[in-house]
A and B are shown apart, each in its own frame.
Chain A
Amino acid sequence: MAINCTVNKKKVSLDIDPNTPLLWALRDHLSLLGTKYGCGIAQCGACTVWVNGEPMRSCVLPISAVSNAQITTIEGLDPAGKHPVQVAWDELDVPQCGYCQAGQIMTAAGLLKNNPHPTDQEIVDGMSGNICRCGTYHRIQEAVKLASKKIKK
């Protein structure tokens, strides 16, 4: 039976194996390639998307669990790139290779949605589930702070 859900404000129907992880449904069936595969076991955070507004690891989340859910991917955060987190990421020139950054940004934007003005420690803790092999951690943390300031305005 098809799974119905909303992805980036569009209604979609997925008539595929209900055990398919959301990551592969997004990438292989919906051609949304911004969400990345990194480990497949919820360790690195590259695949982070929002499910009903909460950051989740899409690589271990079967689509059967997202029936009727609202899903937001990096493509849907703000296609124009004007979300404060995206703007801050560009302003501080965070990316090196860029591969993990969709997951970092979805985690950061999720963090700020729940806590628009986190302390430094809350930023460090909130972002430490996401691995960046290039080591852009300093700028990730600074960019979350900058985005928080932008939200304040």
Chain B
Amino acid sequence: MKTSRRDFIQKASLFTGVFTLGFDWFSADASAMEVVASTGRFNAFLSIDNLGKIILYSPNPEIGQGIKTAFPVVVAEELDVDWAQVQVEQANLDTKQFERQLTGGSGALKHSWDRLRKAGATVRKMMMQAAADQWKVDIAKTKTSKGFVLGPAGQKASYGSLAEAASKLPVPSEVTYKDRKDYKIIGTRVKGVDNKNVVTGKPLFGIDIRKPGMVFAQIVRPPFGATLKSFSADDVKKMPGIIDVVSFKNKVAIVGSTTYAILQARASLRCDYSSDAPLESTETHQKWFDEGMKSDKAQVMRKDGDFSAAIAKAVKVVEATYECPFISHSPMEPMNFFADVQKDSVLLAGPTQVPQPAQKAVSDLLKIPVEKIQLEISKMGGGFGRRLNNDFVLEAAELSSIIKKPVLVMWTREDDMTGGIYRPAARYHFKAGLDASGEIIAFYLRGVGINAGNSTRQDNFPVGAIENVLIESFDQKSAVTTGPWRAPITNFLGFAEQAFLDEVAELAGKDPIQMRLALLEKVKTKPVGKITYEPDRFEEVIKQVAEKAQWKKKPGVHQGFSVYYSHLSYVAQIAEVKVENGKPKVTKVTAVTDCGEVVNLSGAENQVKGAIIDGMGHAMFAKLSFQAGVASPNNFNTYRLIRGNEIPVIDAHFVNNGIAPTGLGEPALPPTGGSIANAIYAATKKRQYKQPFS
């Protein structure tokens, strides 16, 4: 991280009349900012022209998390303009102007909060200074409102009228931020900046990209672990609308002038594969889980005290095993990407969560310097982590370089579901020992993942409150490709932990909420080892959700509790289940979230509700299995996603304590499986150990 960089570089250009201000996202102290007047739009973050037109450039890829709205909200607030005055534009990849130009880890607002505020507040102060100079008054006597500077004698000047003068001023080294009680935009309901374009069907997505001379292509990929031996392309090449059939890296690409022509050609393409070893099946994966659980090669992720000694002394012991399959991300927009590879330059365009690594990977592949690779960021039709892996970008670039044409590579739904990058399959074994008073004295977890890396989160609560802890992880390598899936690892581990704690509480004869509160009290008074969470914030969401959902105070309603800390945010949930015709039905989920300052209440509610629906749908329905290296099912007729007639009422609350904002795209998902499983147990006395629930 650069910290020594000078605060501002300033250039003025009188003839353009455009005043643009950007800042360096790489800077650790958020001080490296630039004022650059220019006619170009991509070297800058915020622009104000003489006519008062304010454009805010949103650098991070929009995937449905609302960042294209949330970032400009923060800048506009500190700039002190009316939201209606602001125009928002998606910035393309620009590694000189922006840092962390990516979507993932629910980290954007956490990273950029101070930078965004500073960007707005700095320009506001420069506008005030320009007005003060013009009116020959002290800047302290000026104030701002809705894009105007107001003077002590009733003077009033618009930002537009001050833009040129302000652009020539030295940049203030210090600025003050608004008191949050004065916020006019932050914390309100701000509608998505793309809404109008969405509801009128404008081409916004990767699949909608059209460029001169462009052709379409689809790629046939081998089963996982297989090698392409041969393929029959002669007949396919003669089919109408087919331009070419080429092969690279075990794949066969069919290039055509229309999607339908390619779809028909695919039906006639025959590919033969071979493999050195037997291809993987779900049975293989089950065997690996069994072996991984017994293996003496598991990695110790955390050790507090002496688990073995403590469990031997325990009066009561509870253990349970949880398991989840590989699952597909299945964003509504299947993978796709555009590439136009010229002799010494490349144009890439489309939906990726990580444009900079995409640029770098294409540079490495084609031996073309990154400076010669331009990347246009399109809106993404969902991603859920799938678009963190740039395999589809590389395929498009490689194909374009082979056929020497601009090409849009499209994945069918079947390609998308069988072509790889899954949430890793995992199995977890928990064991806890209680003393005579029901206190947890020993806690053990082993995670066995398949291409999961560390399948545990070894510092997760209740670790920190227990004297003797052992957390182990075992990773099995596989030909099946995996990657982050919304709330990586914790999307299932969260369920397993919270379901297990419910069993522990039952064995200890304690209320699940009271047990958590007692454990958090221990963390405060007698912490064990490294503590990565704030117990007070944990407690607050727990207490609030118990009150709002009337925990155990609703006769005839079966409730389940969970609470989880991930991506620096805290979410407590209480799910409610009713038994209808002998079957449990989830009727309501109450969630209390502490993500610090709520920047956009509408977007925040959308994220919490969406994450709970996502978590519930996948907990209850989603399943893939493998046979001979091929995933099935391969489309939505058999891969079940949750629908509108299956959702519970969701009551979403926010602590909104003014702490700098933290992640919200993911944190409401991990606790969902747990709250629902625990409510189902309350209703049916049947525990859930597997995803999908039975």
Contacts and interface: CB of A to CB of B under 8 A. Distances in A.
A interacts with B: yes
B156 interface: no
B333 interface: yes
B381 A99 contact: yes
Q: How large is the interface on A (under 10, 10 to 19, 20 to 34, 35 or more residues)?
A: 35 or more
Interface in A115-153: 124-125, 127-141
Contacts of A65: none
A134 B203 contact: no
A11 interface: no
A138 to B, nearest CB: 6
Given A31-B210, A133-B384, 11 more contacts: A28-B216, A29-B258, A33-B201, A40-B635, A94-B195, A95-B192, A95-B195, A96-B64, A97-B383, A101-B199, A130-B644
B372 interface: no
Contact of A97 (B203, B380, B645): B380
B637 A36 contact: no
A41 B634 CA distance: 11
Contacts of B191: 90-91, 93
Interface string B194-213: 11101111111101101000
A33 B203 contact: yes
Contact of B606 (A31, A89, A139): A139
Nearest to A73: B201
Contacts of B64: 95-98, 134
Nearest 8 interchain pairs by C-beta = A34-B201, A99-B381, A97-B64, A135-B613, A74-B201, A96-B64, A98-B198, A135-B610
Nearest to A99: B381
B262 to A, nearest CB: 10
A58 interface: no
Given A96-B606, A100-B332, A33 B381 contact: no
Interface string A25-64: 0011101111111111101101000000000000000000
A43 B640 CA distance: 10
Nearest to A138: B609
B260 A21 contact: yes
A88 B191 CA distance: 12
B228 to A, nearest CB: 24
Interface in B33-90: 62-66
Nearest to A126: B644
Interface string B380-392: 1111100000000
Contacts of A90: 191, 195-196, 199
A127 B208 CA distance: 25
Given A31-B210, A127-B644, A131-B641, A36 B332 contact: yes
B217 to A, nearest CB: 13
Contacts of A136: 606, 609-610
29 contacts: A19-B260, A24-B258, A28-B216, A33-B207, A33-B208, A36-B333, A39-B636, A39-B637, A40-B412, A41-B637, A44-B332, A77-B200, A89-B195, A95-B198, A96-B66, A97-B64, A99-B381, A128-B643, A128-B644, A129-B643, A132-B332, A133-B330, A133-B384, A134-B614, A135-B610, A135-B612, A135-B617, A137-B647, A141-B644
Interface in B128-168: none
Contact of B413 (A28, A38, A128, A134): A38
Contacts of A138: 609, 647, 650
Most buried by B among A37, A79, A141: A37
Interface residues of B, number: 62
B260 A17 contact: yes
Q: Is the interface of B mostly helix, strand, loop or mixed?
A: loop
Contacts of A94: 195
B661 interface: no
Contacts of A127: 644
Most buried by A among B331, B413, B644: B644
Contacts of B614: 133-135
Contacts of B644: 124, 127-128, 130, 132, 137, 140-141
B181 to A, nearest CB: 25
A97 B210 contact: no
B195 A93 contact: yes
A38 B332 contact: yes
B210 A86 contact: no
Contacts of B613: 135, 137
Contact of B333 (A17, A93, A99, A137): A99
Nearest to B645: A128
B334 interface: yes
A130 B642 CA distance: 10
A98 B381 contact: yes
Contact of A43 (B612, B617, B635): B635
A21 B17 CA distance: 51
A96 B338 CA distance: 23
A20 interface: yes
B511 to A, nearest CB: 30
B380 A135 contact: no
A79 B332 CA distance: 24
B189 interface: yes
A65 to B, nearest CB: 15
A17 B46 CA distance: 49
A99 B643 contact: no
A124 B189 CA distance: 25
A138 B588 CA distance: 12
B260 A97 contact: no
Contacts of A75: 200-201
A99 B201 CA distance: 9
A29 B211 CA distance: 14
B607 to A, nearest CB: 8
Given A81-B196, A86-B199, A36 B602 contact: no
Contact of B204 (A17, A37, A98, A129): A98
B612 to A, nearest CB: 7
A7 interface: no
B124 to A, nearest CB: 27
Contacts of B413: 38-41
B332 A131 contact: yes
B379 interface: yes
B259 interface: yes
Interface in B599-654: 602-603, 606-607, 609-614, 617, 635-637, 641-645, 647, 650
Contacts of A33: 201, 203, 207-208, 210
Contacts of B643: 128-129, 131, 137
